[in-house]
Structure 1
Amino acid sequence: MRRVRHTVNGGPEVLFVEDVPAPEPGTGELLIRVEAVGVSLAGVRRVRGGEPGPLGGEVAGTVEALGPDTAGSGFAVGDRVTGICFGHGYAELALLHTAMASRVPEGATAVDAVSLVRSGLVARGALDAARLRPGESVLVTGAASGVGQLAVPLARLLGAGRVVAAAGSPDKAAFLRGLGADEVVGYGPEDAGRSWGEPVDVVLDAVGGDLLPRALAALAPGGRLVAFSSGGGTVPAHGLLAGATSVIGFQMAHLARTRPRDHAAWRDELWALHAAGRLAPAVHARVPLARAAEAHAIIERRENLGKVVLVP
């Protein structure tokens, strides 16, 4: 089978395809014939930073074989599933632990699954962490990303009275308004020093880094910033004290481990909204597995309007 690896000296150009034997499912694992792989900013940053290890992430496909101790999992050969692969996910065949797997409903595609479930769960979980109340205002940074483009409509569905989308390029404004954003603000070089307008009650920050202090400054007194980016960043303590604001860290893996019922309920909620036509993930590009470097380059250039997906 084919899979994509990377060398450890950084850069999208170091992705390469290799032919390797098919993996054998271990205890509690499913062998998946991969039909779609979600590309994330965290994965792109990992390659750019030259971090060693396999390229994992969101995968969706069909179960081809079951490993030991999976008889009671409820999964069978031929099931269509999606989940997070912690091993080699950029591959034609991948291993998915049953604890991380869920079924793809009838009528939904593998591309739907990798575009909706993981990113949607992050968006839904971040809104829960923010303790969003009906009528409050929400600002989403990285609003055109795989997570951001779902956080914007989800905020509205959960009762936000005003939704502001922040993006790094003015070219994304029409797309973001189409998602339901009331306002679009920027943080590209041309926006340096510009105000983001009226303060908001909640900021969902998908960018981090140097943008984090600016996101904090956008909060109204008593506001909450939920940080879930892999970009890091620091905030000044006096910025919290002056407005009695809060910064809340959110990590999907932690929630899945500690609140499995909420994790499952939100996943079902996302699929129900999708089936009802109320939540539709945007897919920017479907890229062949062998051209994974092109998929990474799209995200590095911040060109994507929605999810970038690899299709083996």
Structure 2
Amino acid sequence: MRRVRYEKNGGPEALFVEEAPAPEPGPGELVVRCEAIGVTLPVVRKVREGKEPAPLGGEVAGSVVALGSGVSGFAVGDLVTGLAFTDGYAELTVLHQAMTSHVPAGATAVDAVALVRSGLVARGAYQAGRVEPGESVLVTAAASAVGGLALQYARNGGASRVVAAVSDAAKADFVRGLGADEVVVYGEASWGEPVDVILDGVGGELLGPAVRALAPGGRLVAFSSGGGSVDAFELLVRSASVTGFQMAAIARNQPDLYARWREEQWDLFRTGKLRTSVHETLPLTEAARAHALIEERTNLGKVVLVP
């Protein structure tokens, strides 16, 4: 089979395609023929900034081709989605059944990687913000897959005002189409009227202006892999708070909640209340181009590799 790998850290140019043996399933595992692979910012950052090369895992969807011992609830031929911890950028990958779910009838593999993981992160961040109907919500990285779904959760949840923060004003029409009332651009002197809740998927230097955009008693939810620091005095003068959110903690510690959110998501997708956005689908051999799209912040929605 073909897979994408890297031997030293760097930008997209560090990625290369190679032939590798087909994987075998262990106990509780499934081998899946990948039909769609979601490209995420954490994986892009891992290739660029990681201390040493690590497996290219991530979100995948495809058809089951083999089952390990002890697997129940799945059959060869099922269309499934889940998280691969090794060789996610490959024609075949291994999923553990605990991190795997069925893709419902009528949905495609591309739908699954554009919706499930990104939507769960958006749902979880929105929940962590304790958003009440009538409050105002600002979403950073609003044109990303997670950000676009977070805008829709805020709109569906009855926010009085939904603000999209983006890197380029050219993305304004796109995020307005997903429910944003207002659009602000990073680097602007003001982000407009303060907001009650900020869902931040960027981190780093953006945390400063984000905190300053909070209204008194406001809440910022930090769910980015970008790190950064917050000025405690800025929180003090606003009586504001910051909450960290990580989807992996929900998956590990609250599997029933994780499963319920996932099913709710598919219901919203079927009824049109959640819409996925796919910027581009690319062949596996163009993984470097996919990473470049994410690094350049030019994508509008999900970037997907299709072996």
Structure 2 length-normalised TM? 0.98
Measure, in 2, the Cα distance between the counterparts of 1:226 and 1:277.
Answer: 26
Count of residue pairs the alignment pairs up: 306
Question: What is residue 8 of structure 1 aligned with on the other side?
Answer: 8
Matches within 5 A, 1:218-297: 218-297=213-292
Matched, 1:39 2:39: yes
Q: Aligned partner of 1:292: which letter? A: A
Matches within 5 A, 1:151-162: 151-162=150-161
1:27 deviation in Å?
A: 1.4
Question: What is residue 120 of structure 1 aligned with on the other side?
Answer: 119
Measure, in 2, the Cα distance between the counterparts of 1:260 and 1:201.
Answer: 30
Question: What is residue 30 of structure 1 aligned with on the other side?
Answer: 30
Matches within 5 A, 1:128-143: 128-143=127-142
1:49 deviation in Å?
A: 1.4
Contact 2:165 2:186 in 1 (8 A): yes
Question: What is residue 195 of structure 1 aligned with on the other side?
Answer: 190
1:308 deviation in Å?
A: 0.3
Measure, in 2, the Cα distance between the counterparts of 1:68 and 1:158.
Answer: 43
Q: CA-atom RMSD, angstroms?
A: 0.9
Question: What is residue 68 of structure 2 aligned with on the other side?
Answer: 67
Measure, in 1, the Cα distance between the counterparts of 2:143 and 2:200.
Answer: 12
* Cα distance per residue 1:176-209 (max 9 Å; x no partner): 1111100000005xx3xx1001100000000000
Q: Aligned partner of 1:184: which letter? A: V
Contact 2:9 2:53 in 1 (8 A): no
* Cα distance per residue 1:78-131 (max 9 Å; x no partner): 111001111110000000000000100001000000000000000000010111
Measure, in 2, the Cα distance between the counterparts of 1:290 and 1:9.
Answer: 19
1:7 deviation in Å?
A: 2.0
* Cα distance per residue 1:251-310 (max 9 Å; x no partner): 000011122222111111110111111211100000100110000000110000000000
Measure, in 2, the Cα distance between the counterparts of 1:289 and 1:207.
Answer: 26
Measure, in 2, the Cα distance between the counterparts of 1:201 and 1:258.
Answer: 28
Measure, in 2, the Cα distance between the counterparts of 1:245 and 1:264.
Answer: 31
Matched, 1:168 2:163: no
Question: What is residue 54 of structure 1 aligned with on the other side?
Answer: 55
- Structure 1 residue ranges, 4+ long, deviating more than 3 angstroms after superposition: none
Percent identical pairs in the alignment equals 67
Q: Flag structure 2 segments of 5+ consecutive residues without an equivalent.
A: none
Name the SS of the counterpart of 1:147 in structure 2.
helix
Q: Flag structure 1 segments of 5+ consecutive residues without an equivalent.
A: none
* Cα distance per residue 1:5-41 (max 9 Å; x no partner): 0121311101000001100111111000000000001
Matches within 5 A, 1:85-104: 85-104=84-103
Question: What is residue 17 of structure 2 aligned with on the other side?
Answer: 17
* Alignment match of 1:300 (pick from 271, 295, 301): 295
Q: Aligned partner of 1:92: which letter? A: E
Measure, in 2, the Cα distance between the counterparts of 1:243 and 1:126.
Answer: 21
Q: Aligned partner of 2:234: which letter? A: G
Name the SS of the counterpart of 2:176 in structure 1.
helix
Measure, in 2, the Cα distance between the counterparts of 1:237 and 1:185.
Answer: 24
Contact 2:204 2:228 in 1 (8 A): yes
